[in-house]
Structure 1
Amino acid sequence: MGFSERQIHASQTGAALCMRHEPASDGAIGVIHILHGLAEHSERYDAFARQLSQSGFHVYAHDHRGHGFTEAPGAPLGSFDSGGEGARLVLADIASIHDHVADAHPGLPVLLFGHSMGGTIALRYAFEHPESLTGVAAWNASLITGLLGRAGMWILAWERFRLGSDVPSRLLPRLTFGEWAKSVKSRRTEFDWLSRDPAAVDAYVADPLCGWPASVGMWRDVQEMALTVTDMTNAPEAARRLPWHLLGGGRDPATMFGKAVTAQVNRMRAAGFDDVTLELLPEMRHETLNEIDRDEAIAPLIRWFTAKAVSQASV
C-alpha cells in the first residue's frame, strides 16, 4: 500500500483519521511522521514521502481533524472540535498514530516533521512527549508572538463572543492569507505567496480540500499552541535535549520573512536547547517542499534525519 492510498486509523479520541504510509524501500533506519499545515491535507506530501522512503524511512502522515478525509465527532471541515478541546484532541490523535507506529516498527527511532501549522503542532507535541521522539523538524512555522500574537487572540475572543467558535473567522483570513497574498506584487493568484512554482500554486487552488476558511475555534487553537511553544518555560528538560531543525524562507510572509523562525531558534538556544539547526533560504516562499528549488532544502534535511536516526540506533 503506497502513500497515496488512504487508510483509516481509529484514534483513541474517537476520530477516524485518514492515515497514509509509505514503507521504507529497503533497510529501514527510522520512522518519520509528517504533520501537514492549515487548510490542506496529507496527500500533498506524496513526493516528499517517497524521497524519505528511498532514504530508509517508513513515512506516516494523517489528516488532522477538521481537514482532508479525516472524520471526527464535532469536527467538520475547518474545525478541530466544537467543544473547545481542539488542541488537546489534535495532540491525542498524534499520540494514537505513534502508538500504532511503535507496534508496527518496534525499536525504530521516530522523528517528527511539521510544515506551517504542522510545525507549530510538532513543537507543542514534542514539548509534551519528548521521550517518544528522536528529533523534530519544524518548517515555515508561523510563530508570531508579542503584540501581534496577543492581538490575534483578542480578535478571536471578540469574534467568538459575537459569532461563536464554529463559524469561519471573518477577520483572521484577511489579516493572514489576505495580507500574505499582497506580499507578491505581480501575483497571478491570491496564493502565489505559497511558492514560486506556478504548477504547485495551481494544484493548491484547484484542490477542494485546500484553502477553505478555518473556524474561529481552529484559529484560536492554533494561535494558542503558537503562544505556548514560544514560551520556553513550557519546555521540559527532555525537550531541550532533543535535536531540532527549523527552517524559514526569506520571502515567506507567514513567518515575517523568516524573522519568526529566527526568533524561535534564538529563544530555544537561550533556554538551553542543546542541538538546534537553523536554515534560512533567502528566495523561498511559504511551502518550501513545493518550491522550484525544493531539493536544495530537502537534501540537507534528509541528511539531518539520517544522522539523528543512525545516532539514536547506535546508543
Structure 2
Amino acid sequence: MEQTFWVTMKDGTEVFVRKWYKSNTQPRAAIQLSHGMVEHIGRYHEFAEYLVNEGFVVYGNDHRGHGYTGEKQGLMGYFAEEDGFAKTADDLYQITEVIKAEFPSIPVFLLGHSMGSFLVRYYLQKYSKNINGVILSGTGYFPTVQSLAGKQLAQMLPPKQESKLMNSLAFGSYNKKIKNQNTSFDWLSGDETAIQNYIDDPYTGFIPTARFFYDLMDGLIQIHNRKDNKQIRADVPMLIISGDADPVGNYSKGIWKTAHMFERAGLKNVVTMLFTDGRHELLNEKNKEVVFEAINNWISQSMK
C-alpha cells in the first residue's frame, strides 16, 4: 500500500512524503530514501514495492525544489534563500524522526542516490547516532578546489533563474564515453525504457537555478571536510554501490576514493560494490533485480 502526506519543516517549508507499507504487518526495518537531482521520490516506486515485499516499510520525500515539494514552493530547482543544502539534509532528519515516532522499536536505514547520497553524507556528519546504517548509490568524490570554483561562478549568476551554464558544466561531459548515443540522458541507464520514462516525466530533467548549484557546491565542500567526517560514529554500517560506467563516480575511481575517505575518517564497516557496465541509476538498470537483492542482503546482514 502507499500513503502520502506533508511534513512541515522548522522554517515552515512543507515537504511531500510517500510511505510504502504492508497493512497490519510489523516491518523488520524502515528504509528511508533520498532521491537525486532533478527527479522525485515517485520514481522509486518499484524498488520500494520490492522492499515492502521483503518485510520493510519505506519512506521517501520530494526534496526542496523537486517534485510536489518544489511545486508547492513555487520554484523548481531551488532549495532555499540561504543554507539550502543544510536545510534539505535536515529535512531528512526530521523525516527520520517521523519514522521513529511511528515505529520506535525497529532499525532505520537511509539510502541516498546521487545528490541524495551527498545529502545523506551531510546527515551522517550530524546525526549518525540516530541511524542504523546507510547506503550510498551513485555517489562521487569531488576535490574541494573544483567545488569552490563552481560555487564562486554560481554566486555571480541570477540566483532564481535556471542556469544552463552551470547545468552544462555539471552534466555536459557525462555522455562522452557512451557509444551510439540516442539521448543526452543515456548516461543514466542502459535500459532504453527507463531513459524514455525519464524523458517523458514532467518532474525530471529540468534545469535548476544558479542558487541551487551554489548550494550544491557548498554541500560538496562540506561532505569532504575531514574534521566533520571524523564526527561520524565509527561503527555505522555503510554500503557504497555504483556502476563502473557511472561518470558521477568517475567510472569507479571516485567510488574507491570515497570509500577510502570514510575509512580514513575511522569508519570500520564500509562495503563497496561495483556493478559491471552499470551506469548512474543502478535502481533503473537492466539488472536492477540483482541490485535490489544485493541491497536487501546487505541490510539483512547489517541487522544481525
Calculate the TM-score normalised by the size of structure 1.
0.90
CA deviation vs aligned residue, 1:103-154 (integer Å, no higher than 9, x gap): 1111211110000000110111011101110001111113321543333233
Does the CA-based 8 Å contact 1:14-1:73 persist in structure 2?
A: no
Q: What pairs up with 1:201-220 in 2 under 5 angstroms?
A: 201-220=195-214
Q: 1:254 to 1:75 in 2, by over 3 A?
A: farther
Q: What pairs up with 1:17-96 in 2 under 5 angstroms?
A: 17-24=15-22, 26-71=25-70, 76-81=75-80, 83-96=81-94
Q: What pairs up with 1:155-304 in 2 under 5 angstroms?
A: 155-156=153-154, 160-161=155-156, 163-304=157-298
Q: Which amino acid aligns with 2:6?
A: I
How many angstroms apart in 1 are the aligned matches of 2:274 and 2:209? Answer: 31
Does the CA-based 8 Å contact 2:32-2:108 persist in structure 1?
A: yes
1:169: Cα distance to partner?
Answer: 2.1
Q: Which amino acid aligns with 2:12?
A: G
- Kindly tell me the number of residue pairs found equivalent between the two proteins: 303
How many angstroms apart in 2 are the aligned matches of 1:41 and 1:73? Answer: 14
Does the CA-based 8 Å contact 2:35-2:112 persist in structure 1?
A: yes
1:102 aligned residue: 100
How many angstroms apart in 2 are the aligned matches of 1:255 and 1:154? Answer: 23
Does the CA-based 8 Å contact 2:121-2:223 persist in structure 1?
A: yes
Calculate the TM-score normalised by the size of structure 2.
0.93
Q: 1:253 to 1:74 in 2, by over 3 A?
A: same
Does the CA-based 8 Å contact 2:189-2:282 persist in structure 1?
A: yes
SS at match of 1:43: helix
Does the CA-based 8 Å contact 1:24-1:55 persist in structure 2?
A: no
How many angstroms apart in 1 are the aligned matches of 2:79 and 2:210? Answer: 10
Among all aligned residue pairs of Structure 1 and Structure 2, give the percentage whose two residues are the same amino acid: 27
1:281: Cα distance to partner?
Answer: 1.6
How many angstroms apart in 2 are the aligned matches of 1:147 and 1:286? Answer: 24
SS at match of 1:80: coil
How many angstroms apart in 1 are the aligned matches of 2:150 and 2:29? Answer: 38
Structure 2 residue runs of 5 or longer lacking an equivalent are none
Superposed CA RMSD in Å reads 1.9
Does the CA-based 8 Å contact 2:77-2:207 persist in structure 1?
A: yes
SS at match of 1:76: coil
Does the CA-based 8 Å contact 1:33-1:111 persist in structure 2?
A: yes
Q: 1:88 to 1:210 in 2, by over 3 A?
A: same
Which sits farther off after the overlay, 164-173 or 293-302?
164-173
